[in-house]
């Protein structure tokens, strides 16, 4: 489910569940967290590169797994993964090769460079599912685009194209002429050839870990509560039954 390989100082970590568009299970969150922590501690690794197998980056949470094992606390696997990702000291790059939904999109706020295939799509459908956004996106997205645009993206949840994601600053470059993973790997190798002390210190100065971790945990508490709400239960049932949800009278 999580594949990891080493290439010239770059640890390539792949979400590998292409038949489910790399949707996250609890086990995948644990495996990805462990892979990130190991790569960050490995002296032979200078850069970490995240990507997805097949034609998707990640479709977010696997709904069946989510319903069977909903997050019960801020220590649930998704939030432990996000906390680990936010604290990685080495540069983290992402090659978004297709769909990025939910946590598949919010995790990108914690990547230092994000490259997207021109066919990629980004979606933040939390409110439509009766949930709230996670991954400190309620803090980091307004910093990118301002309050009104962030409100539009997080409240209405309309998908963003790769070019729209680049326009708001979520994506560094949109790639059309070659596979995005090839381009991202080339950029990662460029980073390995720079003075690593300068790279690490620059990343540390760009980050605000205490504020971000605090927001991740604040959102996690609210997310756990919302996952138990009547509106969220209706949204999940409607998704499974392939119908439009009816939120009348629900909170």
Report yes or no on 75 lying in a domain: yes
Report yes or no on 38 lying in a domain: yes
Task: Provide the percentage of residues in the chain whose pLDDT is more than 70.
Answer: 100
User: Structurally, how many domains does the chain consist of?
Assistant: 1
User: Rounded mean pLDDT of 123-147?
Assistant: 98
Report yes or no on 239 lying in a domain: no
Please say whether the beta carbons of 131 and 78 come within 8 A. no
Report yes or no on 235 lying in a domain: no
Strands 99-101 and 113-117: unpaired
Please say whether the beta carbons of 118 and 162 come within 8 A. yes
Taking all residues of the chain, what is their mean pLDDT, rounded to a whole number? 97
Q: What is the pLDDT of residues 74-87, one digit of tens each?
A: 999 999 999 999 99
pLDDT at 119: 97
Q: Has residue 208 got a pLDDT over 90?
A: no
Report yes or no on 131 lying in a domain: yes
pLDDT at 38: 98
User: Rounded mean pLDDT of 192-211?
Assistant: 96
**Does the global pTM surpass 0.85?**
yes
Residue 150 makes CB contacts below 8 A (sequence gap 6+) with 138, 141, 142, 144
Sign of CA dihedral 164, 170, 172, 175: negative
Report yes or no on 222 lying in a domain: no
Distance (Å, rounded) from C-alpha 137 to C-alpha 223?
13
- Token output for 167: 């326009």
Please say whether the beta carbons of 104 and 127 come within 8 A. no
pLDDT at 209: 86
**Burial (CB count within 10 angstroms: exposed 0-12, middle 13-18, buried 19+), residue 173:** middle
Opening angle at CA 145, ends 142 and 149, nearest 5 = 85
Distance (Å, rounded) from C-alpha 218 to C-alpha 134?
9
Residue 160 makes CB contacts below 8 A (sequence gap 6+) with 121, 122, 123, 153, 168, 170
Give the domain CATH number at 20.
Answer: 3.90.226.10
| Strand arrangement, sheet containing 160-161 | 56-58, 99-101, 121-123, 160-161
Report yes or no on 212 lying in a domain: no
pLDDT at 222: 97
Report yes or no on 147 lying in a domain: yes
- Token output for 31: 């495996």
pLDDT grade, residue 47 (50/70/90)? Answer: very high
- Token output for 151: 């409100």
pLDDT grade, residue 112 (50/70/90)? Answer: very high
Q: What is the pLDDT of residues 116-134, one digit of tens each?
A: 999 999 999 999 999 999 9
| Strand arrangement, sheet containing 113-117 | 2-7, 10-15, 47-52, 92-96, 113-117, 173-175
Distance (Å, rounded) from C-alpha 219 to C-alpha 238?
24
Question: Which range marks the domain in which residue 135 is found?
Answer: 2-179
């Amino acid at each position: 489910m999580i594949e990891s390989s080493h290439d010239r100082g770059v640890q390539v970590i792949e979400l590998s569940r292409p038949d489910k568009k790399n949707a996250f299970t609890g086990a995948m969150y644990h495996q990805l967290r462990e892979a990130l922590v190991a790569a960050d501690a490995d002296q032979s690794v200078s850069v970490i590169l995240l990507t997805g197998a097949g034609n998707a980056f990640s479709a977010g949470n696997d709904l069946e797994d989510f319903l069977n094992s909903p997050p019960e606390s801020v220590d649930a696997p998704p939030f432990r993964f996000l906390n680990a990702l936010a604290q990685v000291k080495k540069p983290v790059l992402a090659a978004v090769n297709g769909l990025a939904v939910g946590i598949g999109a919010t995790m990108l706020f914690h990547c230092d460079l994000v490259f997207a295939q021109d066919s990629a799509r980004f979606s933040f459908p939390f409110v439509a599912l009766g949930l709230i956004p996670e991954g400190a996106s309620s803090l980091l997205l307004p910093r990118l685009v301002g309050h009104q645009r962030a409100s539009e993206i997080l409240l209405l949840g309309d998908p963003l194209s790769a070019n729209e994601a680049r326009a708001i600053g979520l994506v560094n470059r949109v790639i059309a002429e070659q596979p995005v993973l090839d381009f991202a790997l080339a950029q990662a190798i460029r980073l390995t050839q720079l003075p690593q002390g300068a790279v690490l210190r620059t990343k540390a100065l760009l980050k605000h870990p205490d504020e971000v971790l605090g927001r991740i945990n604040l959102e996690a508490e609210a997310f756990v509560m919302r996952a138990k709400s009547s509106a969220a239960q209706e949204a999940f049932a409607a998704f499974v039954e392939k119908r439009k949800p009816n939120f009348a009278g629900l909170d």
